[in-house]
Amino acid sequence: MFELVLRVPQARVEPLSDALVDELGALAVSVEDADAGTGAEHALFGEPGMPAPAPGWARSTLVALFDDEASADAAAARLLAEHGAAAADGGLALQAMRELPDQDWVRLTQSQFDPVAITERFWVVPSWHAVPAQAERAIRLDPGLAFGTGTHPTTRMCLRWIARHADALAPGWERVLDYGCGSGILGIAAARLGAGEVVGIDIDEKAV
């Protein structure tokens, strides 16, 4: 996979992003602040009490991903010919074109997950971590492509509610419907905490 990095005037960001995807074969395009990490960097969404922010950064960087070097090179050549430095607004400039090493992006993302405390005694723990000593109950769940790891606030609040109310319910309490179950974490938690029957439903093929 090859990455093409272009410095672009703000007025050209949207049309060039569209052209990269629709006409030039880019697999993905991201827009970044060209001044990120410098004194000229500014928050796109503004701050309380400050004037409304501009619709984009004054100077932007487009980062486009391509399957191969030939596609990236052809896209760069066409864009530079049509929108190069001779344009009245300064046009675009090529910053870099480089090959990206192959990586297992799913596993790389998974490695960023640590055990999540739902309550002091109830935890969600990826398989590559030891269960914390204070955890009396733990769900072993490896983060993957399906939604639901216990880190999102809504998921965590639902898990916390289940954990805090389960002991007050009779064994085999209630049937539980986990609608849009994703990883199945809410249904698994309900089953571990005493639910009599759990049904999980999702339209995502990667859901459990």
Among candidate residues 12, 22, 111, the one with its CA nearest the CA of residue 61: 12
pLDDT at residue 16, rounded to an integer:
93
pTM over 0.85: no
Residue 68 has pLDDT above 90, yes or no: yes
The stretch 66-90 carries a mean pLDDT of 84
Q: Domains in the chain, ordered, with CATH?
A: 2-102 (3.30.70.120), 107-201 (3.40.50.150)
In terms of DSSP bridges, do strands 28-33 and 59-66 run parallel, antiparallel, or are they unpaired?
antiparallel
Q: How many CA atoms lie within 13 A of 72 on its CB side?
A: 24
**pLDDT digit string (tens) for 125-152?**
988 889 999 999 899 887 665 667 788 8
pLDDT at residue 61, rounded to an integer:
92
3-state helix, strand and coil shares in percent for the chain, rounded to the nearest 5: 25, 25, 50
Residue 30, SS3?
A: strand
